[in-house]
Amino acid sequence: MSLATLDGSPHRGCGGRYALHGETVTLRISGMSAEVAREFFRCEKCGYENRTIEQRDLAEKAAAETIRAEHELLTPKAIRQLREGLGLTVAQLADLCYGTPKGIVEGWEKGKYLQNREADALLRSLTDRDTLERRAARAGVVLPSTEPLAETPSTTMAATA
């Protein structure tokens, strides 16, 4: 499965060999938790356990997916589409989320971080124009104009004609 596998390779500490095992662990992310399967290596001679970064990452990703589905949280793609649909930059969206750091919002959109339920509800609430305008006023965010751009040239043409 991976190049980083230790299966069958020697444990230098004792001269035994590692074998692949599985365990069920509960992982917590953003105040939510999920039970996932995680692989690890155990030395068959001395029992030393070794969990590689890759094994931890895979389990973290699985937990994030489980939690996202269970709590019906927005997907990274949905968050980006929501932001782009509102014509906001990442920095502006971060400001609208009670000044959440820009890097965190970027992480949400890249699936690197998982938004908690409060942040998810807040993101969804921004599709309501009144809520968006109220938050923008409070956060000092200048929203893009909702006026149709096509009107400006035609008005100009009418004036010059």
According to the binding rule CB under 5 A, does residue 43 interact with Zn ion? yes
Closer to Zn ion at the Cβ: 48 or 125? Answer: 48
CA distance 128 to 125: 6
According to the binding rule CB under 5 A, does residue 16 interact with Zn ion? yes
Closer to Zn ion at the Cβ: 16 or 76? Answer: 16
44 and 19 in contact (C-beta within 8 Å)?
yes
Strand partners, 25: 36
According to the binding rule CB under 5 A, does residue 44 interact with Zn ion? no
Considering only residues 33, 48, 124, 131, which one is a binding residue for Zn ion as defined by CB under 5 A? 48
CA distance 155 to 161: 10
Considering only residues 5, 20, 30, 45, which one is a binding residue for Zn ion as defined by CB under 5 A? 45
Strand partners, 27: 34
152 and 127 in contact (C-beta within 8 Å)?
no
List of residues 6+ apart from 142 with CB closer than 8 A: 136
Stretch that binds Zn ion, among 45-53, 65-73, 84-92, 146-154 (CB under 5 A): 45-53
According to the binding rule CB under 5 A, does residue 107 interact with Zn ion? no
Where on the chain is the footprint of Zn ion (CB under 5 A)?
A: 11, 14, 16, 43, 45-46, 48
